[in-house]
Structure 1
């Protein structure tokens, strides 16, 4: 519950700050680092050595893929500040962390992290560093690296399932 409250507090604070480009850019820069740091910290807090290994594999693969593409493609940024626009490193790092948290620890960690990752991507559009293609591909790379290298923690998870014509509980466990 403390984790959820923390993520909700951070998530609701950033949009209020993002009314000018300087603040939006700064908050995106911070979240690009904060989300992966939080994901790795979750492995430490949960004494999850296997999760830490999976995070590092996922993070490393994501960084290698993202920066290899940047170097190979050399797409100009919308604001003209460089030729390393594609894909967005901010989006790939933020979504890699969110994907890892969702896969490893479930929705309580994953959903707030995905919301913050989406906000991080939006900041890149707001400051004209990227276009929608850049952040979309960055997000896809991050999510893919999280899915490929991450397995569920093995803890049982019970969460509500609510749909338009359905409701109930969903139980997930690994044994």
Structure 2
């Protein structure tokens, strides 16, 4: 993300500062939201996306970014999450464990 910011070197709307495009704050928020949605479903993902959307809105409202900066940050983050994150396997796996000196249950799941 930082490489892209420095390569494009767009001026911020509120100052002479550079590196506006894409929004790193928005990308971080959408990265977390899309990870939660991808791994745990829309029940947890929808509120996470709502909060991430607020982060993007607040960056534009504060004058730190243009709308296209936040949209690009969100799109990049979600795209990479879908490339590199697999959905969670449904449910837990429970299996008996029986050996010479042990007996029990093995419980496993993916997080």
1:155 pairs with 2:102: no
In 2, the alpha carbon distance for the partners of 1:81 and 1:116 equals 29
TM-score normalised over the length of structure 2 = 0.79
The structure where helix makes up a greater share of residues is 1
1:93 pairs with 2:23: no
**Once the two structures are superposed, what CA deviation does each residue of 1:104-128 show, in whole Å capped at 9, x if it has no partner?**
1101211100000000000001100
Number of equivalences: 91
Consecutive aligned runs of 4 or more in structure 1 exceeding 2 Å deviation: none
**Once the two structures are superposed, what CA deviation does each residue of 1:9-67 show, in whole Å capped at 9, x if it has no partner?**
xxxxxxxxxxxxxxxxxxxxxxxxxxxxxxxxxxxxxxxxxxxxxxxxxxxxxxxxx11
SS in 1 for 2:20: coil
Larger Rg: 2
TM-score normalised over the length of structure 1 = 0.51
Partner of 2:19: 84
SS in 1 for 2:81: helix
Partner of 1:67: 2
CA drift of 1:155 comes to 1.3
Partner of 1:5: none
In 1, the alpha carbon distance for the partners of 2:76 and 2:17 equals 21
CA drift of 1:146 comes to 1.0
In 2, the alpha carbon distance for the partners of 1:99 and 1:132 equals 20
In 1, the alpha carbon distance for the partners of 2:86 and 2:69 equals 27
Q: In structure 2, list runs of 5 or more residues that go unmatched.
A: 92-111
Give the one of 95, 98, 118 matched to 2:53.
118
Give the one of 67, 81, 95 matched to 1:146.
81
